Amino acid sequence: MVTWRDAWRWGSSQLRLAGVGAYSREAHSLLELDLDLPSPALMRPGERVEEGVWLSYVQRICRRVRREPLQYIRGEVEFHSLPFHVRRGVLIPRPDTEVLLDEVLRRKRALPPGPILDLGTGTGALAVSMAYEMPDRCIIASDICAGALEVARENARRNGVLDRISLVLGNLFAPLEGRRFAAIVSNPPYVRREDVAELAPEVRDWEPVTALDGGEDGLSHVRAIVAQSADHLVPRGLLALEVGLGQADDVASLCEQYLGHDAEVILDLAGIERVVLCQRGDCQ
């Protein structure tokens, strides 16, 4: 006979032994999954857990012990106050990327007319959030992975913006030849290849390496995006990029070189230079 308290304590101990940092909180989170009553281990600790609930919980704990990300197990993550489905094969949206989104939204009234491109959309977190916050704009969401576009489509439908998002399959700008945008927004792969092996096991072993590996110096994808962006932005169109630690100065210089306008660097909540913004010059 397993009580809610027993289940929570067992799950916490298993996660602690596996090296999961927030083991107590995560054990609660996995115990609450699929239940209507929040925090059962706290609200009814002595009650017995139904057998089916217990077996499902054990399975989820075992998945987390293998360091599968909590978001994949739950199948959902919140981004910019909206719910997003996530599964293995797509990068899990992170709070750092909300900084990128917020900076674009702050400038939405100053953007020139035209659609907005989310390059490498993944789950569609940026595209869906922009469509939700800017209902007068058409959003193009592109990705090289068909599976990611399936997830993005599901999230667009779930959040009621599918009619304002066009999904495009292809590598970078290849399927977008001749098209120009009011803004190009991207969270590209930017981890240095030699650093991928040093990432947390939840990231290194579970999230798609193609969404992480930015080449030898982490900037191979960024260079390609910046170099081609002038041909795909309308005059005074905005390029907005998320970048890794220590990359902002190099990316800003690239943007200024190709777009002919001063770049701006934005810090995230941890004080890290996380976002680079640059407008296309009028004469580019």
Give the model confidence (pLDDT) of 223-247 as tens digits.
999 999 999 999 999 999 999 999 9
Give residue 198's pLDDT: 95
Average pLDDT over residues 43-65: 88
| pTM, full prediction | 0.92
Give the span between the Cα atoms of 33 and 3, in whole angstroms. Answer: 16
Is residue 216 classed exposed, middle or buried when 0-12, 13-18 and 19+ CB atoms within 10 A define those classes? exposed
* Window from 29-43, 56-70, 96-110, 189-203 with minimum mean pLDDT: 29-43
Give residue 36's pLDDT: 57
Give the span between the Cα atoms of 186 and 222, in whole angstroms. Answer: 9
Check pLDDT > 60 for residue 161: yes
* Window from 46-60, 114-128, 231-245 with minimum mean pLDDT: 46-60
Give residue 39's pLDDT: 59
Q: At what angle do helices 125-133 and 146-158 cross, to 10 degrees?
A: 30
Average pLDDT over residues 124-138: 97
Q: Give the pLDDT band (50/70/90) at residue 90.
A: very high
Give residue 48's pLDDT: 86
Check pLDDT > 70 for residue 16: yes
Give the span between the Cα atoms of 53 and 44, in whole angstroms. Answer: 15
Give the bridge partners for 265, in sequence order.
Answer: 276
Residue 187 CA from chain centroid, whole number: 8
The dihedral over CA atoms of 59, 65, 68, 72, expressed in degrees to the nearest 10, equals 40
Instruction: Identify the residue whose tokens are 């939840």.
Output: 202
Give the span between the Cα atoms of 66 and 276, in whole angstroms. Answer: 36
Check pLDDT > 60 for residue 40: no
Q: Give the pLDDT band (50/70/90) at residue 23.
A: very high
Check pLDDT > 80 for residue 35: no
Q: Give the pLDDT band (50/70/90) at residue 44.
A: low
Give residue 50's pLDDT: 86
Give residue 282's pLDDT: 74
Give residue 4's pLDDT: 87
Average pLDDT over residues 58-62: 96
Within 10 Å of residue 249's Cβ, how many Cβ atoms?
13
